[in-house]
Amino acid sequence: MREYTSDELIIIGRCHALQSERERLLSEIKINQSAMSGISLGYSDEPERLLGLLEEQINLVSAFREIEPDCQAASEAYREVVSGEVKDNG
């Protein structure tokens, strides 16, 4: 196993952190979708809760859209680091 530089370890750590946040957001989005579906199908006696869930869903999707480009860039950098193809900026 090769040793990584501190810069490479930062890249790896950032990628893992962004992936975790991405997965958390996707999970919350799915949970909200299930709750909204249940309410709209009449499985709850709190139809006014639907509006709150819809607003929360909009915020979650917005956060996901904000993080996705960073996540993709971090994933590409991660692949370069672990494959040993890090580009020399000099």
Measured distance CA(77)–CA(59) in Å, rounded:
28
Task: Work out the average pLDDT over 62-84.
Answer: 93
Task: Work out the average pLDDT over 22-42.
Answer: 92
**HEC profile of 4-72:** CCHHHHHHHHHHHHHHHHHHHHHHHHHHHHHHHHHHHCCCCCCCCHHHHHHHHHHHHHHHHHHHHHHHH
CA neighbor of 75 nearest in space, from 29, 16, 32? 16
Place of tokens 């750590």: 13
pLDDT in tens, 40-64: 888 777 777 888 999 999 999 999 9
Q: pTM for the full model?
A: 0.77
